[in-house]
Structure 1
């Protein structure tokens, strides 16, 4: 029999209700009407999903209250709902996350300049009444933007303040607890990351004259693709890459069955891994993991660790009862994510080596301008697909396992140092040697390093607006 509580005891266990101001409620409605999921709105604004749902159910009353606000407050509320502003801030957060993933320093001034240029680009794209809108990227706007999007405080003069040092210190400990409580082995813990690749790019030190090289903008639109690469922490299971290309049916692939390609082929006009494409990839991810666990006598379960990029779906937990999702804290991806640590750099170096081997086979050792140009024109996306697949196979299990050094050091294999594997420096040296073979005698390893770094080019406003 339950013991009855006294009136004083009932009052003491009563829940404390947190007051939510009108501005927050309107922000909830703005996000809801833009199609954002209730759970994501709640996580972003620090509210429970039930509270968000209640606000959405009472939207008519909340709108009526907003109309009774003072003229100054009403102006602020109207500005916060501007479609151009909303899209600019969303794309700006994408740009900041891209900078963080590539470990590029950002500061307040750079963010304000990017915000202004994006705002102008979106005004021209949207047209109509948007032409009359103005935006100054003030300090007050930046403070609100930073608070809403949970950004770490960037440095004023370019210091490495975009990395959340406290989150970097705490998260590996929290992840270790998740792994222990879930009973996961290194074979059951996975990470994936997307990376952009100019699949037909040639270095500035080739013999092609500037007049005969493709214009940078045209090259970016035609030769850019995005790859989603991943594997497990043990390093013995590489996932089949996802390739996202601007065209669904390029000429080089006509007559080929895409399901028979050595990777998943998908298309997006700006070669971007969108939420829908990532969700589609996740559905593909689950069956191979189940087969892998069965082959190795493991329980059918996996832990998938993702970055907190804006393009990541939030409902993946609903698609599988056997895969748990964990998200890296914001502003830690560049230094914690395993695929970002050495793995992607090794893959791109292997791909560049494949490219130069093919150039040597087709153009010979003369390095004549016409031969190199003919190679560039004949090198197709189908060639790139098979070179990508072979380059991914060349990435060693030691490299995959070593990428977890900062996030999960306990999973590192102690016998890895005794194995004979290629280092990144050796691969870059091979590229320089191949360049000598095709006539580029002055190339040194530093030139190869610079070339590989150029693959991480900044997202232009045109590319960002294309994500709309």
Structure 2
């Protein structure tokens, strides 16, 4: 089915997009406690982001869409949001929504129209992915329950993003270790803006996985990304496999199951200390 869909497109015009959730400043001891939680509210929701990643077969990755809880976190005080290295959106639970995705898709379609390009974009069947008609972007849908098998972004790109992100975070913790009383103290000072900059750095170091997904088999799959386990253990102070650290928030919800969540642009931002 996928091969039939892409036969009339060049690799640079075949895209896949997928979403992941991230506890962007969680201590491992805390994250182990909340693994598998739905994160529908409370203090953990204020420490999470949702990230939509999109790229093509040629290896080009678009600017990621990052969704947080606040329209303008305190650390954005002197920041022009449109000049961030990510597209920033928000709602009260930091989830992806149909309205956010529709806005993103229409903006992406407008960009392709300006460039006189026709592309195909593969998505999964999440409720937040609207089935709309676009002039320059053909939307295609993976079969239900096949995300982990054939979706390229889920075949290593997202994991690679997280591996690179946590390496950036660990280096930051190590750099601050000499002047802090505890790792917990340093963690609390990590801002949403720090997370955005680390996501940007991570995006520069990851590759596509269309070959691994079987969509473009003539490509040579990249090596699976690894995290420096000794670096992680030095900061965390316990014996923990690095892969476990990278994968701990894989089950984090990223969208409202019934698609009913609506962004509240007037929500009280005073509670957001980031």
Range into which the TM-score falls when normalised by the shorter chain: 0.7 to 0.9
1:164-207 CA distance string (max 9 Å, x none): xxxxxxxxxx2212222xx201111000001101111111299x
Structure-2 separation of matches of 1:328 and 1:346: 22
Conserved 8 A contact 2:17-2:54: yes
* Structure index of larger Rg: 1
Corresponding position of 2:58: 234
Q: Which of 136, 160, 164 does residue 350 from structure 1 map onto?
A: 164
In terms of fraction of residues, the more helix-rich structure is 1
Picking from 374, 377, 381, the partner of 2:188 is: 377
Give the match for residue 203 of structure 2. 392
Contact 1:272 1:467 (8 Å CA) reproduced = no
- Verify: 1:225 aligned to 2:49, yes or no: yes
Please state how far the C-alpha of 1:254 moved relative to its aligned partner: 1.3
Alignment root-mean-square deviation, CA:
2.8
Q: How does 1:8-19 map to 2 (within 5 A)?
A: none
Considering Cα pairs closer than 8 Å and 6+ residues apart, tell me whether 1 or 2 has the greater RCO: 2
Task: State the secondary structure of the residue aligned to 1:455.
Answer: coil
What corresponds to 1:175 in structure 2?
2
- Map 1:5-44 to 2 at 5 A: none
**1:28 aligned partner:** none
State the secondary structure of the residue aligned to 1:409.
coil
**Greater strand fraction, Structure 1 or Structure 2:** 2
Contact 2:98/2:259, CA 8 A, preserved across alignment = no
Deviation at 1:289, TM superposition (A): 4.2
Cα pair 1:252 1:382 within 8 Å, conserved: yes
3-state DSSP class of the match of 2:199?
helix
- Asked whether 1:435 is paired with 2:232, we answer yes
Q: What are the superposed Cα offsets for residues 77-118 of structure 1, whole Å, 9 maximum, x if unpaired?
A: xxxxxxxxxxxxxxxxxxxxxxxxxxxxxxxxxxxxxxxxxx
2:139 match: secondary structure: strand
| SS of alignment partner, residue 140 of structure 2 | strand
TM-score by structure 2 length? Answer: 0.82
CA shift for structure 1 position 264: 0.5
Q: Taking structure 1 as reference, are residues 328 and 439 closer, same or farther at Cα in structure 2, changes over 3 Å only?
A: closer
Corresponding residue for residue 363 of structure 1: 177
Q: Deviations over 1:116-149 (max 9, x none)?
A: xxxxxxxxxxxxxxxxxxxxxxxxxxxxxxxxxx
1:284, distance to aligned residue in structure 2 (A): 2.3
For residues 73 and 18 of structure 2, the distance between their equivalents in structure 1, rounded to whole angstroms, comes to 25
2:81 to 253, 258, 274: 258
